[in-house]
């Protein structure tokens, strides 16, 4: 595992001297590695080398067909930009109208052609003395990022790409860059040669984050004077967040969101000093004030102040992590919503409480699309949840009523008293293992049972339904119920697991809502959900 | 073991791997500065200096180096930091090593008393075969068979480079030319490139000339220009094109890489045509001869041929093999590392002395020898050696200018004994929690699990041990789950289906329990360790 400097140096050495024809760079953060790689290639193209180096970069996400890959590589190597005015033509050698992108053969011919073109046009005019020797003067470097995508989209190009040097008989170096291991990408039958591996260690906690200090006046959160405070602040953010994410960019995002609030007390202090000295408030748009403030010398916060700030803001960084890392909100809104109180440092230490986040997000109890559901659809969803999680054999016990109309024969909840360990796998509640498909009839039966238990008293009295349960049967048999079921299917709250055109047997469905949502519905409908579940929570 | 005397060593090598203890006394290598069996043309040095000649015997016998370069330098005098004046030399040396490691010279000429190596035999046989075709116009075919990296392509290339007159060389690869039509088009293209005339288009032109009067509007008039693209020819042209090969002005050599893949093509028509042409090529009857060379690592490639194809194949199978003895492997390594630089630098001679001393010290080291022996014992692929040497050379710097045991260890660990799941070592806290939960699920008899199961297990644990460091929101741990999926630590058991919610898709953990233990131990959090130990 190489740290960032080491691997860049290693790669630079290899590419500038004599690289293996196929390299595999295994990284943990493709974004930062890709940046490092482009630095290396930039340096290589700027500094004089034994051979002129031309490079092309391909992103496995953007290039999802073989033609896109071929065209991107050839255009990149020839430094050719397709332009709209020319009809977006791809690169081709002078006087040729061939297309290089039809098959891998054509692509290899294209690479050879690009090589000759570059050798003739870019290199040889510069070095006439080398021309006589006839040696190859160019080296082509092809970088392919997100190689794991190629395996999914265009697996047939992987093997030729790994053998490109021997196929084209040029000085070509192909670099695969991926977060996935080579073993997961490697084509079958060991068709590809083993690459030269470069492993990149993840960024360390200690690697500091750069901050752009563009501000001109010292009463600003981004003034260079505050850089030492920034480094302390970064250490604080890393301490809190590092165990949850090692992604440097995520840490930067959180740090940047909290920073204006963190320095706000210090800036407030400086504003107060300015007011005391000059007798009026600082106005950044006033040039006179800008001159005045530039002459003033502000002290950096003392260690004691810094420690107080740390203590005050520590909990809010955790809060920032919890909201910003899953992107429940954005950094700017979060920073505005969590501005510290004014003059927080001016208060006595005893009065201070650790800073708490004020603006909690509205609890995501009920998504919008679910809140608009009708009462009957909620009954259907609860019934389908029960049908999906309870075993079919348990229905009679859970929903059947005895003659006394009260007593339900529940599952025996108490565990056997003996501590005998049963062999076999641990039983997993169906709620966790995923919903089971159920026939429509079964769900309708449960639906009827739920309605009979919880809905009868809310209906208007109808004289024609005299037999017990007749009214409920009427309700469950309505066309509206079938229509609702199809509507819920289209909302993906129910999943139809049998084919649409299947005629025999009842259609099968699966429940598409989670336990939490079901619990919410059953509370609204006053259904005792836990009593009706075979594996109660 | 710097310059092992060949005869003596071979006796040791007989059947078992040589151990350094046998050839070297118990004394430490630093103290013992004399060679085990010095060659007669070197001067026996005194005990405080070492002979700086790690090159194996043959290259020394070539007389490439002047006797004045046979200088001695004390190993202790090697500078730990390279003076500025040698920086250019070090760069040149690295360049040469990298070049040499791409093409390691395996076929060292064997001594007269030993049977020639497998590759030498294959090389000679191939040379004779090519001779027959090039000088007498024979039609020949052969198969070169050997494991990956054993030198099949290298032998062919060497023999082709050694040819006096350049024949027409057609190179096909089973990985690229996946169908016979593609292969045919490639043959036509390469013929166009090498002879300047496209034989396919000639064939096509004749009918089109006849049909000119019809003015077929769908027929695009084709230009007989060599630079034009070659259209995909119909399969019916195959016999005609290949049958024409021996009638060309020069002999032709057809090289089929990944021969076994061509045998998988339907009806093996390309192979049939090629081998039939080669077999029916009559020497001296106005034909220039053709040779078909197949290369494969598949041992039953010959049996894959259909009967009619097999009967046209000459049956010549030349075998290649990786180095059969450890000392050969070591000699390759030494040969690569002690390659000479060709610079006009004035310090070259001085650098050369330093460098040879550094190489000598490197190969005298016990741990270095153990590392090489271990690598050789597991994988005999010479390409692995060249990757190790490449890594070694790339990491040389002015602050550590000479190869060392530490550099070799790191090179081997990055190229051969690669850590299985590198991504495991920088997992964040939620990911480690999920990993432990997956171990619990596996131990509970559920090798495949859903996210909900792991989440439940995690929540139970947070509830049970009130000392969980930080309460994590659901979003965070869900992201950790996705992270584990994207790094292929969790792999999906079933194909993705549209009507299964994401949290109920079943996954399997490919990290072993020992891997997880390492992660938990390294993480060092007591809560996690306790939770993990519950799964034992």
- Please report the pLDDT score of residue A353 as a whole number: 54
User: Which one of B157, B173, B259, B439 makes the best mutation probe of the A interface by having the most chain A beta carbons within 10 Å?
Assistant: B173
Cα separation, B312 vs B276, whole angstroms? 6
Contact between A432 and B444 using a beta-carbon 8 Å cutoff: no
Contact A297, A272 (CB under 8 A): no
Point out which residues pair with B295 in neighbouring strands.
B144
Q: Which residues of B touch A435 (CB under 8 A)?
A: 501, 504
Gap from B189 CA to chain A (nearest CA, Å): 9
Gap from A411 CA to chain B (nearest CA, Å): 22
How is B215-244 classified by DSSP, letter by letter?
--TT-PPPP--TTSPPPPPPGGGHHHHHHT
- Please report the pLDDT score of residue A503 as a whole number: 81
**Residues forming CATH 3.40.50.300 domain(s) in chain A:** 4-199
Q: Which residues of A touch B444 (CB under 8 A)?
A: 425-426, 428
Residue in B99, B452, B475 closest to A326 by CB = B475
Low-confidence stretches of chain B (pLDDT < 50) are 1-71, 110-112, 201-228, 469
Pairing of the two strands B168-173 and B317-319: unpaired
How is B307-358 classified by DSSP, letter by letter?
HHHHTTS---EEE----SSHHHHHHHHHHHHTPPP----TTHHHHHHHHHHH
B-proximal residues of A, 280-339, CB under 8 Å: 318, 321-322, 325-326, 328
Contact between A326 and B228 using a beta-carbon 8 Å cutoff: no
| A474 shares contact with chain B (CB less than 8 Å) | no
CATH topology of domain A368-401+432-532: Arc Repressor Mutant, subunit A (1.10.10)
Contact between B428 and A99 using a beta-carbon 8 Å cutoff: no
Beta-carbon contacts below 8 Å between A and B: 158
**Residues forming CATH 3.40.50.300 domain(s) in chain B:** 118-200+225-319
Q: Which residues of B touch A316 (CB under 8 A)?
A: none
| B173 shares contact with chain A (CB less than 8 Å) | yes
Contact between B415 and A197 using a beta-carbon 8 Å cutoff: yes
- Enter the tokens of residue A100: 């290089």
- Please report the pLDDT score of residue A173 as a whole number: 94
Nearest CA in chain A to B149: A193
A-proximal residues of B, 458-497, CB under 8 Å: 469-470, 472-473, 475-476, 478-479, 486-488
Q: If one looks up domain A4-199 in CATH, what number appears? A: 3.40.50.300
Cα separation, B414 vs B408, whole angstroms? 10
CA distances for A523 relative to A383, A511, A516, B339, angstroms: 14, 18, 11, 81
User: Which one of B103, B104, B394 makes the best mutation probe of the A interface by having the most chain A beta carbons within 10 Å?
Assistant: B394
Contact between B173 and A167 using a beta-carbon 8 Å cutoff: yes
Nearest CA in chain A to B170: A167
| B373 shares contact with chain A (CB less than 8 Å) | no
Mapping DSSP to helix (H, G, I), strand (E, B) and coil, where does residue A176 land?
strand
| A186 shares contact with chain B (CB less than 8 Å) | no
Gap from B476 CA to chain A (nearest CA, Å): 6
Q: If one looks up domain B422-533 in CATH, what number appears? A: 1.10.10.10
- Please report the pLDDT score of residue B199 as a whole number: 62
**Residues forming CATH 1.10.10 domain(s) in chain A:** 368-401+432-532
For the question of an ipTM over 0.90, the answer is no
Contact between B500 and A18 using a beta-carbon 8 Å cutoff: no
Could you identify the residue written with the tokens 């959180």? A254
| B190 shares contact with chain A (CB less than 8 Å) | no
Using CB atoms within 10 A of its CB, is residue A159 exposed (0-12), middle (13-18) or buried (19+)? buried
Residues 6 or more apart whose CB falls under 8 angstroms from that of B6 comprise B56, B57, B111
Q: Which residues of B touch A194 (CB under 8 A)?
A: 381, 383-384, 387
DSSP assignment letter at B54? -
Contact B160, B195 (CB under 8 A): no
Q: Which residues of B touch A360 (CB under 8 A)?
A: none
Contact between B450 and A433 using a beta-carbon 8 Å cutoff: yes
Contact B312, B272 (CB under 8 A): yes
pLDDT averages per 10-residue partition of chain A, 537 residues: 78 90 88 87 86 91 93 92 86 79 90 89 64 68 92 90 92 91 84 89 64 61 78 84 78 85 84 83 78 77 82 83 82 84 62 50 58 89 93 84 59 51 76 89 92 82 81 87 92 88 87 89 89 83
Angle, CA of B357, B361 and B364, to the nearest 5°: 135
Radius of gyration of chain A (CA): 34
- Please report the pLDDT score of residue A161 as a whole number: 93
Mapping DSSP to helix (H, G, I), strand (E, B) and coil, where does residue B296 land?
strand
- Please report the pLDDT score of residue A200 as a whole number: 85
Nearest CA in chain A to B498: A495
- Please report the pLDDT score of residue B11 as a whole number: 42
CATH 3.40.50.300 matches B118-200+225-319: yes
| A99 shares contact with chain B (CB less than 8 Å) | yes
**Residues forming CATH 1.10.10.10 domain(s) in chain B:** 422-533
- Please report the pLDDT score of residue B127 as a whole number: 93
Contact A128, A120 (CB under 8 A): no
Cα separation, B279 vs B316, whole angstroms? 13
Characterize B178-188 residue by residue with b for buried, 16 or more Cβ atoms within 10 angstroms of its Cβ, and e for exposed.
Answer: bebbbbbbbbb
- Please report the pLDDT score of residue B48 as a whole number: 40
Nearest CA in chain A to B230: A98
- Please report the pLDDT score of residue B272 as a whole number: 93
| A155 shares contact with chain B (CB less than 8 Å) | no
Pairing of the two strands A494-496 and A196-199: unpaired
- Cα B27 off chain centre by: 38
End-to-end CA distance of chain A: give it in Å, rounded: 46
Nearest CA in chain A to B384: A194
**Backbone dihedral region for residue A311 (phi beyond 0: left; psi -120 to 50: alpha; all else: beta):** alpha
Mapping DSSP to helix (H, G, I), strand (E, B) and coil, where does residue A48 land?
coil
Nearest CA in chain A to B451: A432
């Amino acid at each position: 595992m190489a740290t960032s400097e080491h691997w860049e140096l290693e790669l630079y050495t290899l590419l500038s001297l004599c690289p293996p024809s196929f390299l595999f760079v295994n990284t943990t953060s493709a974004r930062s590695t890709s940046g490092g790689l482009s630095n290396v290639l930039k340096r290589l193209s700027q500094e004089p080398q034994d051979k002129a180096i031309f490079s092309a970069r391909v992103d496995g996400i953007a290039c999802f067909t073989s033609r896109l890959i071929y065209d991107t590589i050839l255009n990149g190597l020839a430094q050719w930009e397709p332009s709209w005015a020319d009809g977006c033509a791809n690169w081709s050698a002078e006087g040729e109208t061939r297309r290089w992108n039809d098959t891998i053969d054509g692509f290899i011919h294209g690479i050879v052609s690009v090589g000759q073109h570059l050798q003739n046009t870019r290199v040889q005019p510069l070095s006439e003395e080398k021309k006589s020797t006839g040696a190859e003067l160019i080296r082509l470097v092809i970088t392919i990022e997100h190689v794991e995508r190629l395996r999914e989209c265009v697996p047939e190009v992987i093997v030729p790409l790994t053998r490109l040097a021997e196929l084209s008989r040029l000085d070509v170096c192909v670099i695969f860059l991926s977060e996935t291991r080579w073993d997961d990408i490697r084509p079958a039958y060991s068709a590809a040669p083993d690459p030269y591996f470069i492993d990149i260690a993840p960024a360390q906690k200690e690697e500091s984050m750069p901050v752009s200090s563009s501000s001109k006046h010292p009463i600003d959160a981004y003034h260079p004077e505050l850089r030492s405070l920034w480094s302390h602040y970064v250490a604080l953010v890393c301490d809190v967040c590092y165990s949850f994410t090692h992604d440097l960019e995520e840490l930067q995002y959180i740090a940047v969101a909290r920073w204006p609030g963190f320095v706000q007390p210090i800036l407030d202090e400086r504003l107060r000093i300015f007011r005391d000295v000059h007798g009026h408030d600082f106005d950044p748009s006033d040039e006179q004030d800008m001159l005045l403030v530039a002459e003033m010398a502000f002290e950096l916060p003392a260690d004691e102040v810094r420690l107080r700030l740390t203590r005050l803001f520590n909990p809010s960084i955790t809060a920032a992590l919890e909201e910003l890392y899953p992107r429940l909100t954005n950094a700017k809104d979060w920073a505005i919503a969590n501005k510290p109180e004014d003059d927080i440092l001016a208060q006595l230490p005893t009065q201070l409480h650790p800073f708490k986040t004020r603006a909690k997000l509205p609890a995501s109890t009920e998504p919008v699309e679910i809140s608009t559901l009708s009462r009957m659809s909620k009954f259907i969803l609860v019934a389908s949840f029960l049908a999906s999680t309870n075993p079919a054999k348990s229905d009679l016990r859970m929903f059947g009523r005895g003659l006394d109309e009260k007593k339900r024969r529940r599952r025996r909840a108490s565990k056997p008293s003996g501590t005998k360990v049963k062999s076999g796998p641990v039983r997993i509640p169906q709620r966790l293992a995923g919903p089971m498909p159920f026939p429509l009839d079964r769900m309708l039966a449960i639906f009827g049972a739920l309605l009979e238990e919880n809905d009868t008293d809310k209906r208007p009295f109808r004289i024609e339904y005299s037999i017990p349960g007749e009214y409920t049967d009427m309700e469950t048999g309505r066309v509206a119920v079938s229509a609702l079921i199809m509507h819920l299917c289209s909302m993906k709250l129910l999943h139809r697991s049998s084919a649409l055109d299947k005629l025999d047997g009842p259609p099968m469905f699966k429940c598409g809502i989670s336990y939490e949502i079901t619990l919410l519905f059953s509370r609204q409908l006053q259904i005792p959900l836990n009593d009706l579940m075979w594996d109660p929570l | 073991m710097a310059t092992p005397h060949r005869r003596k060593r071979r006796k040791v090598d007989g059947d078992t791997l040589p151990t350094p203890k046998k050839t070297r006394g118990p004394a430490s290598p630093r103290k013992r500065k004399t060679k085990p069996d010095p060659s007669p043309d070197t001067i026996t040095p005194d005990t405080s200096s070492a002979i700086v000649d790690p090159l194996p015997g043959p290259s020394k016998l070539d007389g490439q180096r002047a006797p004045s370069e046979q200088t001695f330098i004390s190993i202790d005098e090697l500078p730990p930091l390279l003076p500025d004046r040698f920086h250019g030399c070090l760069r040149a040396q690295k360049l040469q090593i990298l070049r040499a490691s791409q093409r390691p010279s395996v076929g060292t000429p064997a001594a007269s008393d030993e049977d020639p190596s497998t590759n030498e035999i294959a090389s000679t046989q191939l040379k004779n075969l090519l001779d027959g075709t090039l000088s007498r116009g024979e039609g020949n075919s052969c198969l070169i068979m050997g494991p990956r990296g054993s030198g099949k392509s290298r032998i062919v290339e060497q023999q082709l480079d050694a040819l006096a007159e350049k024949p027409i060389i057609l190179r096909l690869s089973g990985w690229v030319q996946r169908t016979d039509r593609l292969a045919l088009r490639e043959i036509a293209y390469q013929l166009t490139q090498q002879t300047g005339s496209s034989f396919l288009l000639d064939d096509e032109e004749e009918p089109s000339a006849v049909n000119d009067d019809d003015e077929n509007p769908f027929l695009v008039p084709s230009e007989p220009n060599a630079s034009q693209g070659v259209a995909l020819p119909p399969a019916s042209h195959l016999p005609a094109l290949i049958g024409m090969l021996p009638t060309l002005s020069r002999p032709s050599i057809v090289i089929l890489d990944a021969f076994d893949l061509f045998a998988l093509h339907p009806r093996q028509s390309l192979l049939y045509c090629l081998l039939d042409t080669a077999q029916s090529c009559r020497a001296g009857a106005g034909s220039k001869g053709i040779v078909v060379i197949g290369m494969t690592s598949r041992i039953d490639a010959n049996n894959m041929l259909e009967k009619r194809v097999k009967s046209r194949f000459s049956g010549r199978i030349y075998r290649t093999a990786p180095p059969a003895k450890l000392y050969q492997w070591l000699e390759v390594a030494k040969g690569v590392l002690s390659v000479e630089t060709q610079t006009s630098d004035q310090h070259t001679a001085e650098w050369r002395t330093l460098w040879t001393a550094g190489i000598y010290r490197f190969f005298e080291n016990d741990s270095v020898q153990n590392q090489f022996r271990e690598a050789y014992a597991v994988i005999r692929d010479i390409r692995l050696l060249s990757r190790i040497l490449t890594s070694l050379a790339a990491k040389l710097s002015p602050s550590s200018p000479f190869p060392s045991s530490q550099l070799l260890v790191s090179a081997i660990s990055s190229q051969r004994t690669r850590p299985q799941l590198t991504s495991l070592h920088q997992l964040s806290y939620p990911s480690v929690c999920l990993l432990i939960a997956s171990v619990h699920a596996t131990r509970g008899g559920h090798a495949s699990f859903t996210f909900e199961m792991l989440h439940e297990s995690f929540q139970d644990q947070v509830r049970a041990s009130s000392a969980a460091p930080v309460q994590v929101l659901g979003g965070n741990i869900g992201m950790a789950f996705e992270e584990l999926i994207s790094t292929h630590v969790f792999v999906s058991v079933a194909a993705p289906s549209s009507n299964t919610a994401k949290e109920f898709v079943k996954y399997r953990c490919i990290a072993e329990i020992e891997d997880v233990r390492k992660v938990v131990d390294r993480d060092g959090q007591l809560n996690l360790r306790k939770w993990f130990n519950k799964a034992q």
